[in-house]
Amino acid sequence: MPSSSRSVLATSRVRPTAVSTSRKALVAMAWRLLCLYRVKGCCSGPARLPAPFQSPGNSTAAAAKVSIELLQCHKIIAAPGTQECNSMDLGLFYQIQVPKPWDDRSETRKFQEMMEQVCFAEEMGMTSVWFVEHHFRSEWSHSSAPDITLAALSQRTTNMRLGIAVVLAPLHHPLHVASRMATLDVLSGGRVDLGIGRSGYPYQMMPYGADLPDVSEMVEEYLQIIPGAWTEEMFSFQGKHYDIPAREVIPKPVQKPHPPIWQAVSQEFTAEKVGRQGLGCLAQTSVGLERAEGLIQIYRDAIKNPEPATKVVFPRVAGNTVGLCMENRQKAFARAETIIDWYREQQRIRDSYVWQGYDPARVPEDYQWHYQRAVRADTARADEVSSRSLIDDGGRFCIGNPDDCIKYIEDYERMGVDEIMPLFQVGPVTHEEVMESLRLFGKYIIPHFKDKARKESLAADN
């Protein structure tokens, strides 16, 4: 890893046991002040740091580095041995799904509804909104330009974090991504989260000239180029896939040292790798409690001793799944069954064509999981459980009445998930149903977790 991409943690990591008494006192004082700020702000928006703590040169903030940085980008992360005072964050996750049949305004209507939903979600207290990047995925996802969508939302929201989960690295030059995301960070006043990924199948990549054997290496170079372009006055890079002469990359992002960087985690080896690199973890909680807990534990273990790929260690886990909240539990479950049926059928359709025309002998080892899942899609159809069984499982989808949704979120909170991002706008769900879910989250679920955070913080102070 070039020195320009090395985290301050990599060169000045201090063991908690070696911290002096005066340093401990300073850290404790800074932590109490930050907790007081966070509680008084009542977690109503993103965890913005007060001005004295935003400067990387501030001595108090510098003293608050123990084995991980106490102040990490937009979040206040608990140092070892301290009490986390954040509430569970709740956000939105979007694919922009447009089920058939279509009319001339189907796509326009979905985007307009999405804008209304996001603005209402911010009013209800949700702290983030995330968009995927997918291409050539009719019905399943019409979110092919998430940065443009987020730029529009940056002018309609004031506090929500704006995330991409994830930019498909093989489809874009990293300087292009760095410039566009820095511009978005400027437009939004420093609210950007960047997820970087590789795509799970060749169907999206082949029209752009990308090939599977190169993809993982390209992502690794991304992780060096983008933070460097964001932070260095003159940046240059020489790698296997990208050769960049010295240039001043502008604009620079508002967040310092740079916006948080995340990666998607769906397999054990990616969980370990993402943790070791000190990146945020984007996990799918729809895989069920047991599998999700295993992946998250691998990530948490790995990030305890990071070899940072960027300029900041960011030990956060965000999970996304299908969500539907109604006052009546049985009505919610019945409606969800039709939604999950549609969702699973779309996954089967995807798996039936996304590997067509690709030579199985050329599938890299780190893509075998995705390839084998697609191969098994049709043969597993007769043996799979019903959608209702998956809903009744309770650990896959955030579905039911407010109490059911609270239980679902608390199950993942206990295993170390910091943020849950339900996908409310899924398939046949109506705009009115999405708005009702958001209303119930704002009335019952978000206040529940804010109150819980207040009580835990007060108990820690006493």
- pLDDT tens sequence across 383-434: 568 898 888 887 899 999 999 999 999 999 999 999 999 999 999 999 999 9
**Is 354 in contact with 202 (CB distance < 8 Å)?**
yes
**381 CB-near residues (< 8 Å, 6+ apart):** 348
**CB count in 10 Å sphere of residue 22:** 9
The CATH number of 89-327+387-450, from 3.10.129.10, 2.40.50.140, 3.30.1490.270, 3.20.20.30, is 3.20.20.30
H or E stretch covering 387: helix 387-393
Report the alpha-carbon distance of residue 394 to residue 412 in Å, rounded: 12
DSSP conformational letter for 137: B
> What per-residue confidence (pLDDT) applies to 379?
52
Six token digits for residue 164? 């991409």
Average pLDDT of the residues of the chain: 83
- The closest of 252, 273, 262 to 314, measured between CA atoms, is 262
Residue 153, pLDDT > 90, answer yes
H or E stretch covering 398: strand 398-400
Residue 269, pLDDT > 80, answer yes
Residue 378, pLDDT > 80, answer no
- The closest of 131, 126, 182 to 158, measured between CA atoms, is 126
> What per-residue confidence (pLDDT) applies to 183?
99
Ramachandran angles phi, psi of 84, nearest 5°: -65, 130
Q: What is the mean pLDDT of residues 57-70?
A: 34
> What per-residue confidence (pLDDT) applies to 70?
33
Q: What is the mean pLDDT of residues 273-294?
A: 94
Residue 347, pLDDT > 70, answer yes
Residue 164, pLDDT > 90, answer yes
Report the alpha-carbon distance of residue 16 to residue 64 in Å, rounded: 11
Q: In one letter, which amino acid is 117?
A: Q
- Residue 279 or 87, more confident: 279
Six token digits for residue 60? 């108090």
Tens digits of residue pLDDT in 118-150? 999 999 999 999 999 999 999 999 999 999 999
Report the alpha-carbon distance of residue 424 to residue 434 in Å, rounded: 6
Residue 244, pLDDT > 50, answer yes
> What per-residue confidence (pLDDT) applies to 459?
86
Residue 291, pLDDT > 70, answer yes
**Is 300 in contact with 309 (CB distance < 8 Å)?**
no
> What per-residue confidence (pLDDT) applies to 3?
41
Question: For 71-222, where are the E strands, in sequence order?
Answer: 71-72, 75-76, 89-94, 128-131, 161-168, 192-197
Q: What is the mean pLDDT of residues 69-85?
A: 36
Q: What is the mean pLDDT of residues 4-17?
A: 33
> What per-residue confidence (pLDDT) applies to 362?
85
- Residue 347 or 155, more confident: 155
357-379 in b/e form (b: 16+ CB < 10 A) is ebeeeebeebbeebbebbeebee
- The closest of 121, 142, 131 to 184, measured between CA atoms, is 131
Residue 83, pLDDT > 90, answer no
> What per-residue confidence (pLDDT) applies to 33?
43
Q: In one letter, which amino acid is 161?
A: R
What is the Rg, in whole angstroms, of the alpha carbon atoms belonging to the chain? Answer: 22
> What per-residue confidence (pLDDT) applies to 23?
47
> What per-residue confidence (pLDDT) applies to 366?
79
Residue 371, pLDDT > 50, answer yes
Residue 190, pLDDT > 80, answer yes
* Residue 213 confidence class, pLDDT cut points 50, 70, 90: confident
Tens digits of residue pLDDT in 223-239? 999 999 999 999 999 99
Range of weakest confidence among 27-31, 65-69, 293-297:
65-69
Q: What is the mean pLDDT of residues 314-321?
A: 96
Residue 286, pLDDT > 80, answer yes
Question: For 95-222, where are the E strands, in sequence order?
Answer: 128-131, 161-168, 192-197
Burial of 245 (C-beta count, 10 Å sphere; 0-12/13-18/19+): exposed
Report the alpha-carbon distance of residue 93 to residue 285 in Å, rounded: 12
Which residue spans of the chain are classified as CATH 3.20.20.30?
89-327+387-450
Instruction: State the pTM of this model.
Output: 0.82
**Is 89 in contact with 38 (CB distance < 8 Å)?**
no
Report the alpha-carbon distance of residue 249 to residue 177 in Å, rounded: 11
The residue with tokens 């996802």 is 141
Q: What is the dihedral of CA 442, 445, 451, 454, to 10 degrees?
A: -90
